[in-house]
Amino acid sequence: MERRAVLTSGAVIAGVGVAAVTLAACGGSSGSSAAASPAASAAGSAAAPTGSGQIAKVSDIPVGSVFAFQDPQGGPAFLLQPAAGTFLAYSGICTHNGCTVGYDEGAAEFACPCHGARFEAATGDVVQGPAQQPLTKIAVVESGGVISYA
């Protein structure tokens, strides 16, 4: 292959990679874009157990932590265990403009990187606009050490 062809191919591949990262940061449905948020690093990243409706094992979510997963439609979502045996789950999609939120551990809030909306982790309620609606709750249950969709 000629040097010019190699350089052109490399530039095209690099451009596609930059476009993919940009789209993901602007609210794509990839769960990995939530991890791009500065405070989302506290979210778990282990794969959910295999099987119908299962999200994670209880052991994947220590008390006080957040576990990132994909909802049934493939969108980003978060599972929390705020107190022993209490499990909450929310969509990771901001209700303002559809961007993917991240988890701010220090504030115990979900934060939208696009327009600054913030949501209380314990309830999903709006703490700071421009969002007007809370994060969408996902009904979950724990049985036999596994968290599943209710």
Helix (H, G, I), strand (E, B) or coil at 11: helix
How sure is the predictor about 28, in pLDDT bands with cuts at 50, 70 and 90? very low
Where in the chain are the domains? 3-149
The CATH number of the structural domain formed by 3-149 is 2.102.10.10
Give percent of the chain with pLDDT exceeding 70.
65
Residue matched to tokens 């990187």: 113
**Mind listing the pLDDT tens digit for each residue in 51-110?**
458 999 999 999 999 999 999 889 999 999 999 999 999 999 999 989 999 999 889 999
Give residue 59's identity as a one-letter amino acid code: S
Q: State the pTM of this model.
A: 0.66
Q: Which residues of 24-51 are buried (b: 16+ CB within 10 A; e: fewer)?
A: bbebbbbbebbbebebbebbbeeebeee
